[in-house]
Amino acid sequence: MSTNARMPSRYEGIFTPLVSPMYADETPDLPSLRRLIEYQIEHDVHGLWVLGTSGEFASFTTDERAAMSTTAVDAARRRVPVVVNSSDASTRGAIGHGLAALAAGADAIAATPPYYYPHSQDELLDHYRRIRSAVDLPLFIYNIPQTVKVRVELQTAATLAAEGTVVGIKDSQNDLEWFRQLTSYTYENGILFSAFVGTRCLIDVGMAAGAAGAIPSIANAFPELAVGAYNGWLRRDFARADACARNIMRIEALPLSNPHGSRNAAILGLLKAVLHARGIISSPSLSGPLRSFSVVEREELLERLQAVLQPV
């Protein structure tokens, strides 16, 4: 039998891509980050993904990112793995963030293709190989072409997996055909590889496509739904998995209106509004120029949210 990513691994399950609590001046709120991590672990998430897209990583200074990584590792206390996103606009920058994550005690790092320049696939191969050579930690590909311009093509991901440069991927492009081809390749070639879907609504579907788990932003405010969808599928309790997934879809279907703001701002604003209302984070602020909800908008949003959620 092939020794593929379905073997027991530290890197499987629901890894929450943490939002980054911040003060009104947009500096990191580290005490709130600690409370958020405790909240996640209390709700049985399997790992933490720090300073990703939901974490507004590109809005923080190098020192702030290092401080948040150190805080996350310390707060987790080895109860769950901590993966730190070390992405930057250059390979050298990503290596620097990766070395800071290593010093902080992170379990693994992740990196997108460098953003700004539309790099070739050969350049991406060099990018990931250089990071792995410089930083002695397991490395994940973070494939999110909608924000960094460049997609990690299937052959590139397969090459990096086969040579052992990377141990897994967070694939946020919502292309299940692409994802299925990658998981089939690693399975058939006996490669231990943790492929995560970076989707909120397709956790159970991603598992059917060979995923080791999911890294869904919705888990910040609703970890029980994300974990329920994953555990339901794993235990073949498909009714529960579907019930949790449908609740997530109801949240996604909310008419999120953030006047003059982007869809990303609306989603992050929703998550932070819920966490703030529960007393987990001190402020629902977003980093500029993302537009934060007003107090009235947050109250209306929370009322609509309560009206759509159903028991699972």
**Euclidean distance between CA atoms 31 and 26, whole angstroms:** 14
**Euclidean distance between CA atoms 45 and 98, whole angstroms:** 24
Residues noted as catalytic: 142, 170
**Euclidean distance between CA atoms 225 and 258, whole angstroms:** 24
Contact between 193 and 2 (Cβ < 8 Å): no
What's the longest Cα–Cα distance across the chain?
57
Cβ-count burial 77-89 (b if 16+ within 10 Å, e if not): eeebbbbbbbbbe
Q: Residue 59 has which token pair?
A: 């809005």
Check the CA dihedral 17-228-36-101 and report its sign: negative
Residue written as token pair 């809005």: 59
